[in-house]
């Protein structure tokens, strides 16, 4: 089975920094896209930052210049470095994987999208 394990969330003061991590494990053949999403109370889940298999990145306008997404391919781990955090960044942050994975049970592979469990980021003084 393919799983995503997220970590790094917590309480931080306005202007502070955090780094989130997302480790993917399982029978992954090829990673297509990995991304970070967030969902604040009463709001829809939104894309924060994504990175393609070729290394291209995309950011929400609200986080451009403050957040940086990166990936360690050898460890199948995604990161989100967050600077200059403000209260509007408070949300549950979710990791998402789009990848070619092994079928279980059965032979061959299939494309699968997997979500992590989420990690809470709270920005407050």
Sequence-distant (≥ 6) Cβ neighbours of residue 81 within 8 angstroms = 17, 19, 67, 68, 69, 70
For residue 2, what are the CA distances in angstroms to 88, 100, 101?
Answer: 32, 11, 8
**pLDDT tens readout for residues 85-116:** 999 999 999 999 999 998 878 889 999 999 99
**pLDDT tens readout for residues 29-82:** 888 889 999 999 999 999 999 999 889 999 999 999 999 999 998 888 999 999
Q: Is 89 helix (H, G, I), strand (E, B) or coil?
A: helix
């Amino acid at each position: 089975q393919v799983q995503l394990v997220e970590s790094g969330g917590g309480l931080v003061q306005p202007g502070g920094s955090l780094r989130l991590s997302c480790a993917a494990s399982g029978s992954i053949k090829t990673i297509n896209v990995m991304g970070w999403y967030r969902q604040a109370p009463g709001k829809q889940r939104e894309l924060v930052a994504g990175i393609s298999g070729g290394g291209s990145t995309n950011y929400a306008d609200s986080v451009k210049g403050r957040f940086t997404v990166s990936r360690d391919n050898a460890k199948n781990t995604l990161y989100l470095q967050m600077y200059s955090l403000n209260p509007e960044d408070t949300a549950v942050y979710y990791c998402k994987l789009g990848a070619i994975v092994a079928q279980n049970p059965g032979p061959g592979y299939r494309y699968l999208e997997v979500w992590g469990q989420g990690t809470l980021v709270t920005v407050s003084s």
